[in-house]
Amino acid sequence: MKEISHIEGKYSSEVDVAVLLIFFTRVEITIRTFEQIRKARPSRLYLYQDGPRSGRKDDIENIAKCRKSIESMIDWECDVHKFYQEDNLGCDPSEYISQKWMFETEVKGIIIEDDDAMSVSFFCFCKELLDRYEDDTRINIICGMNHLGVYKDCPYDYFFSRLGGAIWGWATWKRVVDSWDSQYKFLGNKYIKQCLYSEHGKKLSDAFYANCAKHLATGREHYESILGTCGYLNNVVNIVPTKNMTCNCGVGLESTHSTEYHKLPLSTRRQLFMKTYELEFPLKHPEYIQSDYHYWNLVKRQIQGNWFVRTFKINKLEHLIYMFFPVIGKWVMRFEKDKQF
């Protein structure tokens, strides 16, 4: 079901930006996330919800509760676009479909999932940078997450990273989404493969290729690898805030694996539930667009620690594959989220 409506509301909108919320059945988490959106009051809302899974009557009930809760909380003037699936498509390709849907009508926007937690200033941060870098094709996405929490070596409010960043609350432009290659056409390009061999070695590059081929073979769009490969192979950079503005609130809440969360090492829980900061405006902008490899090296040290491998039971090579992509933190959560279904 697709529907567009205009809400008058008691309050005026505060931020002239489009926000896509992707949600499913987790009522309390969705309400918690939407409360931050409500505080920001964006001028345009895009609501995407997947349909119920086969044989899950509880999905039907919780889907209805999520919709009712969100729609009752919209008390400011805004345009509301709804795309509610009747059948269950799953995370992949739902996330890809929802993002392509929003950018059919928007040239720039913010993407949030039901288990993303963000500071209120995140929305103004994204709005300002979406406008500032709208026509700068060197920029791929705007991240809300800083894996270090606070990056003290940068004198600005944000910096650029070719490999760093995550998509627990992020923003981008139609020009980026339109460039996505859902068919992974680079897989047949021998020259590109040679370039990757030179930069990363044969073993890692072959594993990277195998992972993309695996996604392609499913016949479903996996937006994380599509987004990641497109950005990486085109040598663009991501914007990362100097202070962390988003985190994940999904593990252990309304989850069938909540007991597993309490068994996680403290360092892991800190990574998943990082402190979020409010930024002060006006923003202090960098003078140059230069990828900060020092930040990335610090992130690598943090993520490649033994706790990561022990907790998520993945081999080092598989972990390194995902370091190609600007979706490190998100992939960890996808791994955990998929275990619930």
Domain annotation for the chain: domains and CATH numbers: 2-182+221-338 (3.90.550.10)
Whether the predicted pLDDT of 325 surpasses 50: no
Tokens of 170: 């992020």
- C-alpha to C-alpha distances, 326 to 86, 212, 217, 228, nearest whole angstrom: 31, 15, 22, 6
Question: What is the pLDDT confidence band of residue 98, given thresholds at 50, 70 and 90?
Answer: very high
- C-alpha to C-alpha distances, 198 to 85, 137, 164, 209, nearest whole angstrom: 44, 25, 21, 15
In this structure, which amino acid lies at residue 207?
A
Q: What is the pLDDT of residue 341?
A: 37
What is the biggest distance separating any 2 CA atoms in the chain, rounded to whole angstroms?
A: 59
User: What is the distance between the alpha carbons of residues 169 and 172, in angstroms, rounded to a whole number?
Assistant: 11
Angle at 198 between CA 193 and CA 199, to 5 degrees: 100
For the ranges 86-100, 110-124, 170-184, 317-331, which has the lowest average pLDDT? 317-331
* Chain length of the chain: 341
Q: What is the pLDDT of residue 207?
A: 85
H-state helical runs in 221-292: 223-233, 258-263, 266-272
Whether the predicted pLDDT of 35 surpasses 80: yes
21, β-bridge pairs: 47, 112
Whether the predicted pLDDT of 246 surpasses 50: yes
Q: What is the pLDDT of residue 155?
A: 98
Q: What is the pLDDT of residue 336?
A: 42
Name the percent of the chain lying above pLDDT 70. Answer: 82
Can you tell me the mean pLDDT for 82-109? 98
Can you tell me the mean pLDDT for 8-31? 98
Q: What is the pLDDT of residue 264?
A: 58
Q: What is the pLDDT of residue 302?
A: 74
Q: How far apart are the first and last CA of the chain?
A: 24
- Burial of residue 59 (CB within 10 Å: 0-12, 13-18, 19+) is middle
Residues 6 or more apart in contact with residue 185 via CB below 8 angstroms: none
Tokens of 137: 């094709």
For the ranges 8-17, 73-82, 160-169, which has the lowest average pLDDT? 160-169
Question: What is the pLDDT confidence band of residue 203, given thresholds at 50, 70 and 90?
Answer: confident
Q: What is the pLDDT of residue 308?
A: 46
- Give how far the C-alpha of residue 72 lies from the chain's centroid of Cα atoms, to the nearest Å: 25
**Which has more pLDDT, 208 or 117?**
117
User: What is the distance between the alpha carbons of residues 121 and 101, in angstroms, rounded to a whole number?
Assistant: 25
For the ranges 20-34, 183-197, 326-340, which has the lowest average pLDDT? 326-340
Tokens of 103: 């950018």
For the ranges 44-48, 85-89, 208-212, 242-246, which has the lowest average pLDDT? 208-212
- Give how far the C-alpha of residue 225 lies from the chain's centroid of Cα atoms, to the nearest Å: 12
Q: How many helices (H) and strands (E) does the chain have?
A: 14, 11
Per-residue pLDDT of 123-175, as tens digits, reads 999 999 999 999 999 999 999 999 899 999 999 999 999 877 678 899 999 99
In this structure, which amino acid lies at residue 175?
R
Mean pLDDT of the chain: 87
For the ranges 198-207, 214-223, 235-244, which has the lowest average pLDDT? 198-207
User: What is the distance between the alpha carbons of residues 27 and 239, in angstroms, rounded to a whole number?
Assistant: 31
Whether the predicted pLDDT of 322 surpasses 50: no
CB 11 within 8 A of CB 77: yes
Whether the predicted pLDDT of 215 surpasses 70: yes
Angle at 2 between CA 43 and CA 37, to 5 degrees: 30
Q: What is the pLDDT of residue 268?
A: 58
Whether the predicted pLDDT of 220 surpasses 90: yes
Indicate the helix (H) or strand (E) that contains 113.
strand 108-113
Q: What is the pLDDT of residue 261?
A: 55
Whether the predicted pLDDT of 334 surpasses 90: no
- C-alpha to C-alpha distances, 170 to 5, 21, 116, 153, 214, nearest whole angstrom: 25, 11, 10, 23, 26
Q: What is the dihedral of CA 106, 107, 112, 117, to 10 degrees?
A: -130
Check residue 14 and report its DSSP letter: S
Question: What is the pLDDT confidence band of residue 301, given thresholds at 50, 70 and 90?
Answer: confident
Residues 6 or more apart in contact with residue 258 via CB below 8 angstroms: 252
Question: What is the pLDDT confidence band of residue 327, given thresholds at 50, 70 and 90?
Answer: very low
Q: What is the pLDDT of residue 175?
A: 98
Q: Could you tell me which of 16, 12, 191, 204 has the C-alpha nearest to residue 108?
A: 16
